[in-house]
Structure 1
Amino acid sequence: MDATALPAFQAQLHTALAKPPTETRRIFHGRGRCWPGLEQLTADWLKGPSAGQLLISLFKEPEPALLTRLLAMLNELVTTPVWQQSGARSLLLQHRSRDGSPLEVIWGELNASPVVHEHALAYQLSLGKNQNHGLFLDMRLGRQWVKKQAWGKRVLNLFAYTCGFSVAAMAGGAEQVVNLDMAKAALSRGRDNHRLNQHDLSRVSFLGHELFKSWGKVRKLGPYELIIIDPPSFQKGSFALTRDYGKILRRLPELLTPQGTVLACVNDPDIDCQFLIDGMAAQAPTLRFVQRLDNPPEFTDVSPEAGLKALVFAQG
């Protein structure tokens, strides 16, 4: 972080808050490297039914003097008319590089479990306990795509986390959704997300299992017209992207219907789209590449291949 770039960050926040989004959105994405000197900063507007919370995330610990400058800027922000008219409930700073990713309340009152909205769907977040709050905002258009594709389909959601794709699929009229993730606490939050949206839970399954030990159960609940794969780059003891993604791809033909579709995702800046395209050709050659989904415009990256990659493949 560069102190001379902080006025640009301040100006962007002022612009965004002058007319804040009506739903949850990222409003500053320094991680896309389009703002020199601000590469370690992001700002998310977490908007619920009423007030919003502004979450600033700091991905690398700056020098003490620079952190002091940032805090002074944020404390100045909350005194401005733009802030006061924004409807904000709190201003939060998350130190993502520190142990436990602690959350600092700069102003206002923290709502640690806010319900936020995206595309008119509700999701409950968890602030201050984990590095990630429960909804990856760069996948906004991916969830929208799933909602549009899901009507009448059986959907398999691998690495489901808090079931954002599942909520979108059910909202789009999916017949059945199977969520699999080894983190049972995340799946429990996913069940809550479905309840928030008044979904029929008899049509949603939650499997708290390690994927590579559960193929039989996953196959038994299929076949599926739509499979979503959105893994972490690394999950200790269970998954490493470059080592294990191919093991999933080779299973796809036996899990899909003859006209089935796959949304395969990678969010590692060092791995490009070709990794998935080549991997699919080698492991599941009956699936052809169809398209890469756009990323939300607020996640613009100086290198498109460094951002989220969400690729669609289809049988035949």
Structure 2
Amino acid sequence: MKMNLTKHTTDFYKQNQTDMDYNQLKTFIRHIESQLTPQLVSVKRLFHGRGRRWPGLEQLTADWLGEQLVICLFKQPEPIFMERLISELVSLTEGEIWHASGAKCIALQHRYRQHQQMDVIWGNLEENPVVDESGLKFQLDIGKNQNFGLFLDMSQGREWVRQNVSGQRVLNLFAYTCGFSVAAIAGGAKHVVNVDMAKASLSKGRENHKLNQHDLNRVQFMGHDIFKSWGKIRKSGPYDLIIIDPPSFQKGSFALTRDYRKILRRMNELLTEKGSVLACVNSPEVDCDFLIETMRDEAPFLNFQQRLENPPEFEDLNPQASLKALIFR
């Protein structure tokens, strides 16, 4: 089946044009309340409106980040929606469930604004909490950037890496804050090379390794533009596992449908004979066939094995619009 780029693009823009319905906010609050227990894990998505399973709430997400409830708005709401949202959140803080959860803060991030303004609705925001995911520690950075340092929908991918890299050399492309690298070292990887042009993100990745008391002699950080550094990347190989998790679009540096192909055609010179590739894409505009067919064109010696499941809290009305994490061998 050929990928239907036009259909996915159309669906994506329909999603972003969806009106927000303040009458549905009680559903939003009830869904959050149902998960607020003293045993709630340190970091988790509590509400994923972007999965389009709740009509009228498609532009809302809610994450639990170190005992802090961080809500993101992806589209500017009508004033009455904002008034009702804040009112419902204040009422939430007055209930026994909220206090029993140990919650410390409610913050609202306006993702539709250029600087993603963060408003604290209740409590005091801790901008750099250390959270625990399956026994691994990560320090977040909440409020300054669009993302807070750990992509929660990729938790299954990190766990897969942790379970499958013992004794291997790993290349982590578009490493960001090195979540995959932390999982790989925890899983017994021999060596990990992290490549990302954002040196500040790699510095945070180094700190994440230190939080987990990892041997940094087994970890390499390369703050380079991937497309201008193949020689340096190749020198540290070959690799038993290559992880590719690029942004869908990054102005001036990465365009998904154009540049992914350039990466895959390098697999032959970077990968060991029995090596594996974890290829990821998180754009609703393309489906799994984009990766499968592009891999077939550029690295035909690699065969598609499986798509990793996404965490259940990230369920999407259209599974092809959500995160795609595919294993090739």
Query: Do they superpose with TM above 0.5?
Result: yes
Amino acid corresponding to residue 71 of structure 1 in structure 2: I
Query: Is residue 2:263 matched to residue 1:248?
Result: yes
Deviations 1:36-65 (A, max 9, x none): 110011111113xxxx11111111110111
Aligned pairs for 1:207-226 (under 5 A) are: 207-226=222-241
Q: In the alignment, which of 11, 36, 45 is matched to residue 26 of structure 1?
A: 45
CA contact (8 A) 1:23 1:119 kept: no
TM-score with structure 1 setting the length = 0.97
The aligned residue for residue 136 of structure 1 is 151
Query: Is residue 2:93 matched to residue 1:74?
Result: no
Amino acid corresponding to residue 146 of structure 2 in structure 1: Q
CA shift, 1:22, in A, is 2.2
1 CA distance for matches of 2:167 and 2:325? 22
Q: Could you tell which deviates more after superposition, 131-140 or 102-111? A: 102-111
Aligned pairs for 1:9-24 (under 5 A) are: 9-18=28-37, 21-24=40-43
CA contact (8 A) 2:308 2:326 kept: yes
Aligned pairs for 1:83-162 (under 5 A) are: 83-162=98-177
TM-score with structure 2 setting the length = 0.93
CA shift, 1:18, in A, is 3.8
The aligned residue for residue 238 of structure 1 is 253
The aligned residue for residue 46 of structure 1 is 65
Deviations 1:130-180 (A, max 9, x none): 000000000000000000011000000000000000000000000000000
2 CA distance for matches of 1:18 and 1:212? 46
Deviations 1:198-245 (A, max 9, x none): 000011000000001000000000000000000001112111001110
Q: In the alignment, which of 157, 169, 174 is matched to residue 184 of structure 2?
A: 169
Q: In the alignment, which of 285, 294, 298 is matched to residue 279 of structure 1?
A: 294
Q: Does the residue aligned with 1:37 lie in a helix, a strand or coil?
A: coil
Amino acid corresponding to residue 162 of structure 1 in structure 2: T
Q: Does the residue aligned with 1:287 lie in a helix, a strand or coil?
A: coil
Aligned pairs for 1:264-303 (under 5 A) are: 264-303=279-318
1 CA distance for matches of 2:263 and 2:41? 38
Q: Does the residue aligned with 2:36 lie in a helix, a strand or coil?
A: helix
Between 1 and 2, higher relative CO (CA 8 Å, sep ≥ 6) is seen in 2
Q: Does the residue aligned with 2:35 lie in a helix, a strand or coil?
A: helix
Count of residues paired in the alignment: 310
Amino acid corresponding to residue 65 of structure 2 in structure 1: L
Amino acid corresponding to residue 138 of structure 1 in structure 2: D
2 CA distance for matches of 1:236 and 1:20? 41
Q: Does the residue aligned with 1:138 lie in a helix, a strand or coil?
A: helix
Amino acid corresponding to residue 57 of structure 1 in structure 2: C
Query: Is residue 2:19 matched to residue 1:3?
Result: no
Amino acid corresponding to residue 132 of structure 2 in structure 1: H
The aligned residue for residue 200 of structure 1 is 215
1 CA distance for matches of 2:52 and 2:39? 23
Q: Does the residue aligned with 2:243 lie in a helix, a strand or coil?
A: strand
The aligned residue for residue 63 of structure 1 is 78
Q: Does the residue aligned with 1:141 lie in a helix, a strand or coil?
A: helix
Amino acid corresponding to residue 98 of structure 1 in structure 2: R
1 CA distance for matches of 2:167 and 2:37? 41
CA shift, 1:13, in A, is 1.2
Gaps of 5+ in 2: 1-19
Q: Does the residue aligned with 1:16 lie in a helix, a strand or coil?
A: coil
Amino acid corresponding to residue 50 of structure 2 in structure 1: R
Gaps of 5+ in 1: none
Query: Is residue 2:276 matched to residue 1:261?
Result: yes
Q: Percent identity?
A: 62
Q: Could you tell which deviates more after superposition, 241-250 or 98-107? A: 98-107
Q: Does the residue aligned with 1:66 lie in a helix, a strand or coil?
A: helix
